[in-house]
Chain A
Amino acid sequence: MKRILLLRGAELIVFAFLATIPLLVVNPYALGLLTLLAIYGILLIGLDVTVGYLGQVNLAHVAFLGLGAYTAGLAVTRFGLGMAPALLAAMLVGLLLGGLLALPALRLEGPQFALATLSFAALSTTALNELEGLTGGAQGLSLSRPPVWGHVLTPPLFYWLCMALLAVVWMLMRNLLASQWGRAFEALRDSPIATDAMGVGTYQHKVAAFALGSSLGGLAGGLYAFNFQYLQPQSYTYDLMIIPLLGVVLGGRKSLWGAFVGASVIVLLPNLLSNRHLFQIFSGLGFAMALAAGLRGLVKKTTRPFQALAPVVAMGMLVVGGFFVENTEDWRKAIFALMLFSVVVGLPEGLMGFLSIFLAKLFRVPQAPLPEPSDIETILPPRAADGAPLLVLEDLKRYFGGVKAVDGLSMTIHSGSIHGLIGPNGSGKSTVVNVISGLYTPSSGRILLRGAVLPSGSLYQVSKSGVARTFQNLQLFGELTALENVMVALKGVYRSPLPLVLLGLARLEERRAQADALCLLDRIGLKDQALTKAKDLTYGAQRFLEVARALARKPDLLILDEPAAGLAHPDVVQLIEIIRRVHKRGISILLIEHHMDVVSELCDTVTVLDGGKVIAEGPPEEVKRHPKVIEAYLGQPVQTEVPGGPEPLPA
């Protein structure tokens, strides 16, 4: 409670202070800067959705600023609309075009995503320039603020409007990003494959995130138009393409305060540069800070030498340059570049990320307490295992070019059983899992779940049908906590529609999700580490967390893909115990494993694959003695006449 009060209090104080400024100071120039701060604040909050939460370098945001500005401008000049409808139109254009751009950009990551957005930005500048009939082309477009309720918006009034909108955007985004939506965005960044496999849907969320961020870009554009009352396509080119991006990084990603700090820097920087004396003071301060931080990092060995020294060199260049350069404003871009370079290298979390650690130490704010875990009986009610066929594979094939990874596999997993799938390396086990779970489309054959055809080629659809899986190569959401990893996957908890989430009216549901997730973490013995980031957990704990996350899907069939790979012996014992407990809830399990002891201890039936084909099937003890199995594992023909029969496979 104390934490919430502190955070909300800080927000309230800052906004109240900003709101009272026009009453205290009558300085049109300062007011202009503050108005711009509010507009950039909205712009950066929108950009942070893609850059911070989705983790993609988005260069198209400036295009939405420009398109929004022109939409608002044209709405007023051409169609005589009022301010509110014009702003709404600007937002809508951002939303629609953002969604449209997200469609082709969906499959892209990293550099390809950056390039696609870069092209879109260049294309929209071209369009604004060349559609002279509509936009006036290079001539520009003049407009004036339409009156609101008969009042002409004076600068202070317009400033209040911008601030009020920033406050509203701030509140709505805070609610959204703290909900399942925000978690889904982050999950998407860390592992798109697992996001789909947990039934969250990368598709919808990526489009939603991009469209949402772009609509804020459009809104900022509308305000931008009414602020300057004159638009030119050139205003939205390279310069402005990079500066908001850098603002977000400088301020700190995934943080509303970060966006605000970034916006302040962007707005204040040109003024800082126009005064040489001020510039020297600030660059000196920056140098001292970089030096202190760098030395501290070097001595404590927390940073690499390059990471410690590069910011010092960059800031040093600023200080030296400050003495030699006649007009600092001419070097605006270089100065910005050096500052950013220092921040990106030295403070990857941005100014706010750095400050928040510092502030948290200063105030010692306790974490909000977690709710009591829910009862396992309500989350995973025990189901009757009737022994009927649950999952049936019929002549399943998957070829990669000429490689027959799975070559005509037929297999039946019965409800309530633990079915083992073993085989030497390269026998096609992983491919089978990937085909069942929808990562690969089968080349031919059918998969039936309770008699109905399982959707093929879509992790998301398969997950929705009641099959959950873990990953041999861990696919956890590293930046999310253990608790959040499970919360992302929780099925059947999130029911509130988007508007309620935006208004912050979905808290109860959030509480319930926490309680449910905590219960599942308790089952795997990770309750005490619920708030640890997944990437900071021990290797064994990460493997268990994969299981808990898959359980959150409340599946009919749980596929465990080599859950014991790389585990130390005590962890293997714990894993067996965990799998037993899961099985007791009536969940059927397909276990892919290398460890023979795990398989023999747990499985009712074992299928052995070699070369993509079934070579044996039956109870573990029987399969172990099967000559073909021994041949596949040990690679020697078995002499059947040897007295006493072949030795059982070593565990």
Chain B
Amino acid sequence: MNPSIIGQMAVSGALMGLVYALIAYGFQLTYATSKSINFGQGELVMISAFFSLTLTNLGLPYWAMVPGGLLFGAVMGLVVERAGVRLALEQKSEGWILLTIIIGLFFFSTAENIWGRDDRPFPTPISADPIHIFGVDVTRLELAVAVGVLGIMGLIELFKRRTLLGKAFEAVSADRDAAELMGISATRTVMLSYGLSGAVAALAGILVSPITTVGPTMASAIILKAFSVAVVAGLDSGFGVVLIGMFLGALESLSSFYLGSGWREAPGLILLILALAVRPTGVFGKAVIRKV
């Protein structure tokens, strides 16, 4: 096999994998504060992408559409938190798994009826022309994905480390009860994490849409891989998701080449089940000591 083709597949796959990493990062944000994740995050990605498309169609320029889309995603994230997560957390039950699935189902149906069931192209000012770097072709679009993903993750990490609000976020992640005793509202911090997670999901939608097109089912495959990345890397692993995301993206791209495109999801799924079986806290996650 021509090594340059393999390299090409691996690089494009890895760049796509950054999108999975971004969504997985969104899972980490909420898992850190509340030990919960939104099982309907895929629908959030999709509905935010549709909303952004509508903004574009209304004539908004790209630079104005992106913040609008992010804001919409953040609001939807807050809706999920209020309607699906808060009550279950108060009752210390795992009802949030079901409730977030249900809310996702609702979003799906709403999007299907408002925007239709067909896939639509997503216009973007960034060109899809390839650039030749180190013997591999990379499109500007793919580079924009990489810049966007790493950029927002860097910004959020800076926010967590440099601002008072961000430190409150870290405090609740480290020890919810202790943070509450120090006068930090855990409820608000959880809200913040869901808002951020929603914005991150929206950005993932905006970044990936020009490549995949927009449709109600656009995220159903992506989300499975984002789950895989989050679990394989560990739900509290920080930047581990970037490495695992790129690895999984490359693996997927290569396996769809060798095994046929129908099997492209398989390695990620098998990896996820194996990772859970061997190391439930993930490759980069911390081991937990059981206490009684």
Which A residues contact B (CB, under 8 angstroms)?
55, 57, 101, 103-108, 110-112, 114-116, 118-120, 122-123, 126, 129-130, 193, 238, 242, 245-246, 249, 304, 306-307, 310, 325, 330-338, 340-341, 344-345, 348, 400, 430, 434, 439, 471-473, 475
Contacts and interface: CB of A to CB of B under 8 A. Distances in A.
Contact of B83 (A249, A325, A335, A341): A341
Given A111-B97, A338-B106, A104 B273 contact: yes
Contact of A122 (B37, B90, B224): B224
Main DSSP-derived SS at the A contact region: helix
B262 A126 contact: yes
Contact of B98 (A122, A130, A249, A306): A249
Q: What are the 7 A-B residue pairs with the smallest beta carbon separation, nearest first?
A: A104-B277, A334-B109, A333-B109, A337-B106, A130-B262, A119-B269, A337-B105
Contacts of A471: 292
B39 interface: yes
A315 B105 CA distance: 16
B272 interface: yes
Contacts of A338: 106
A119 B95 contact: no
B86 interface: yes
Given A108-B280, A306-B86, A333-B109, A344 B292 contact: no
A539 to B, nearest CB: 17
B260 interface: yes
16 contacts: A57-B98, A103-B277, A104-B276, A111-B97, A114-B97, A119-B269, A123-B265, A126-B263, A129-B262, A242-B105, A246-B102, A332-B109, A333-B105, A333-B106, A337-B103, A475-B292
Given A115-B231, A118-B227, A193-B292, 12 more contacts: A105-B276, A106-B277, A107-B277, A110-B94, A119-B270, A119-B272, A123-B273, A242-B101, A304-B90, A332-B109, A345-B99, A473-B292
Interface in B82-101: 83, 86-87, 90, 94-95, 97-99, 101
A306 B269 CA distance: 37
Interface of B: 36-37, 39, 83, 86-87, 90, 94-95, 97-99, 101-103, 105-106, 108-110, 112-113, 220, 224, 227-228, 231, 260, 262-263, 265-266, 269-270, 272-274, 276-277, 280, 289-292
A343 to B, nearest CB: 10
Given A114-B97, A119-B227, A307-B87, A340 B102 contact: yes
Contacts of A115: 227, 231, 272, 276
A394 B76 CA distance: 59
A543 to B, nearest CB: 15
Nearest to B278: A104
B83 A434 contact: no
A338 B83 CA distance: 11
B263 A130 contact: yes
Contacts, number: 132
Given A118-B224, A126-B266, A112 B231 contact: yes
B292 A472 contact: yes
Contacts of A330: 112-113
B83 A310 contact: yes
A238 B220 contact: yes
A434 B265 contact: no
Given A123-B269, A344-B99, A334 B290 contact: no
Contacts of B273: 101, 104-105, 116, 119-120, 123
B277 A105 contact: yes
B87 A336 contact: no
B110 A334 contact: yes
Nearest to A473: B292
Nearest to B262: A130
B260 A130 contact: yes
Contacts of A107: 276-277, 280
A122 B227 CA distance: 12
B98 A344 contact: yes
B121 to A, nearest CB: 24
Nearest to A132: B262
Contacts of B227: 115, 118-119
B265 A126 contact: yes
Contact of B108 (A104, A249, A333): A333
B235 to A, nearest CB: 8
A182 B290 CA distance: 26
Contacts of A123: 265-266, 269-270, 273
Contacts of A130: 260, 262-263
A135 B99 CA distance: 35
B51 to A, nearest CB: 17
A57 B97 contact: yes
Contacts of A129: 262
Nearest to B104: A337
B250 to A, nearest CB: 19
A118 B231 CA distance: 13
B115 to A, nearest CB: 13
A31 B260 CA distance: 42
Contacts of A122: 224, 265, 269
A139 to B, nearest CB: 13
A353 to B, nearest CB: 14
B81 to A, nearest CB: 12
Nearest to A474: B292
Contact of A336 (B105, B112, B276): B105
A122 to B, nearest CB: 5
Contact of A245 (B98, B269, B280): B98
Nearest to B276: A116
Contacts of A310: 83, 87
- Of the candidates B97, B262, B292, the one having the most CB atoms from chain A within 10 angstroms of its own CB is B292
Contact of A344 (B95, B228, B269, B276): B95
Contacts of B262: 126, 129-130
A473 B290 CA distance: 12
Contacts of B113: 325, 330-331, 334
Contacts of A472: 292
Contacts of B90: 304
Contacts of A246: 98, 102
Contact of B106 (A104, A116, A307, A334): A334
A103 B276 CA distance: 11
Given A115-B276, A122-B265, A337 B97 contact: no
Contacts of A120: 269, 273
A285 B273 CA distance: 44
B36 A331 contact: no
Contact of B276 (A112, A249, A400, A475): A112
Given A118-B224, A334-B110, A112 B280 contact: yes
Contacts of B276: 104-105, 107-108, 112, 115-116
A154 B97 CA distance: 42
A336 B227 CA distance: 25
A335 B109 CA distance: 9
Contacts of B290: 193, 439
B137 to A, nearest CB: 29
B256 to A, nearest CB: 11
Nearest to A401: B289
B291 to A, nearest CB: 8
Contact of A400 (B83, B105, B280, B289): B289
Contacts of A337: 102-103, 105-106, 109
B87 A306 contact: yes
Contacts of B112: 330, 333
Nearest to B95: A344
Contacts of B105: 242, 333-334, 336-337
Most B CB within 10 A of own CB, among A106, A238, A434:
A238
A105 B262 CA distance: 25
A126 B228 CA distance: 16
A119 B224 contact: yes
Contacts of B292: 193, 430, 434, 439, 471-473, 475
A55 B97 CA distance: 12
B26 to A, nearest CB: 14
